[in-house]
Amino acid sequence: MSPLASYRRLLSIAGPSYVLVAFVGRLPLAMSQLGTLLLVSTATGSYGLGGLSAGALAVANAAGAPVAGSLADRIGQRPVVLVQSLLGAAGLALLVAVVAADAADGLVVLTAAATGLVLPQVGPLARVRWRPLTRATGAHQRRLVDAAFSYEGAADEASFAIGPALVGLSVAVVSPSGALLLAAVLLAVFGSAFALDPSARLTHETERAVGSGRLIAPAFVVLAAAQVSIGMLFGATQTGATVLATEAGTPGAAGLVHATLGVGSAVAGLATAFVPERIGHERRALVAAWVLLVLSLPLLAVGSLGTATATVLVLGCAVAPYMIAVFSLAERAVPPAQVGAAMTTLASATGLGYALGSSLAGRLADESGATAAFAITVGATVLAVALMSTQQRRLRAAAADRSIPPATPGEHRADVPVGGSR
């Protein structure tokens, strides 16, 4: 089955409405981090406090997401994501109100953290649904799951392009507070729709019957660390772009600059479906890590929004291939009944990395400007290279431990869309 045929088959299996809802539902999280950074830094004049607030949101989300993922594995995604969507929307609105009231720094950071704690990780949870959705496709399932993960990686990156772009547009047209309020509305509507989609019930019914096993293993720890490195890249790059945009007198442009990272990444993510199956995901992650390092170095020489935008666009071409390989390795290495916890844990690791990267970059930027912030970006890629260069054998062995089991009688037929009806 060709990559294009795989994408068409996935669309027919899930239904267009599910694909739309699952994509838009992940935008609020993508908007919340940069939106918080711009809201707080603009209101207080401190990149450090802005980075700390955005980092607090990311850290809290990193702490809460694995708990939500494990709970979704046990009781189903529907109730978990629905509650998260409604509470998360309320939290974003509350953060706007707290900043508008000129509250103490500690209260601002605490509110950002409380909001991050309940924001749902739609992208990782969407990945969990593809295995049961494609279970009845027989010999094609492995290829379809790989294509689904390529799509999800591209969708995540597209969301982290469109999300910051929406933030930038909202800041330019309305204000930083308007950006977060838009995120709250999108979360309440589309996050809830994702929770209520029939695929949530199908996932729970299918995976509930599969025996559990150990999630935390050496290979999975390596993969989590790999996601920390890419999160650091996101946080530091976003902070560096914010400094340049603010210095240019157009702080809202930071979202547009950072959005280009997602544009290149989304295109490259879709293209990973064309990589021959014989090239293992551990090898793909290694190559992508080295490309990230090489492409990040020019950031140390940029001095304007134009050059930063061009450099970040090219850098993005290696981001999605790296993340797709990491998530694909995790999906193969963990027990089927733990996939939800695994995907959200990796997303949490990304959030932790974002928090670390944005906080470090924010402090350095306060003292030395954008170049110091971008130095953290380069350091993150060095970490990625070190991990993937030293752990190839471990990751290869872990990915080979489990293969997709054949479909059993009575399971969902993959040729019947489940996302188009309630």
pLDDT of 156: 84
Query: Do 412 and 206 contact (CB within 8 A), yes or no?
Result: yes
pLDDT exceeding 70 applies to what percent of the chain?
Answer: 90
CATH code, 83: 1.20.1250.20
Per-residue model confidence as pLDDT tens digits over 170-206: 887 888 888 899 999 999 999 999 999 888 877 665 5
Helix (H, G, I), strand (E, B) or coil at 67: helix
Question: Which residues form the domain of 244?
Answer: 14-399
- The answer to the question of residue 407 being in a domain is no
Return the pLDDT at 338: 74
Going by pLDDT thresholds of 50, 70 and 90, the confidence category of residue 299 is very high
Other C-beta atoms lying within 10 Å of the C-beta of residue 230: 27
- Say yes or no to pLDDT of 86 above 90: yes
Q: Total structural domains in the chain?
A: 1
- 363: in domain: yes
- In the numeric block, which tokens belong to residue 61? 């989300």
In contact, 176 and 32? CB cutoff 8 Å: no
Is 406 a domain residue? no
The answer as to whether 111 is a domain residue is yes
Residue 87, domain member (yes or no): yes
Q: Does residue 8 lie within any of the structural domains?
A: no
Predicted pLDDT of residue 75: 85
Domain assignment of residue 197, yes or no = yes
Residue with tokens 């990267």: 357
The average pLDDT across 156-163 equals 80
Q: Which of 27-31, 163-167, 201-205, 251-255 has the lowest mean pLDDT?
A: 201-205
Q: How far apart are CA 36 and CA 54, in angstroms?
A: 5
Report the pLDDT averaged over residues 94-121: 91
pTM of the model: 0.75
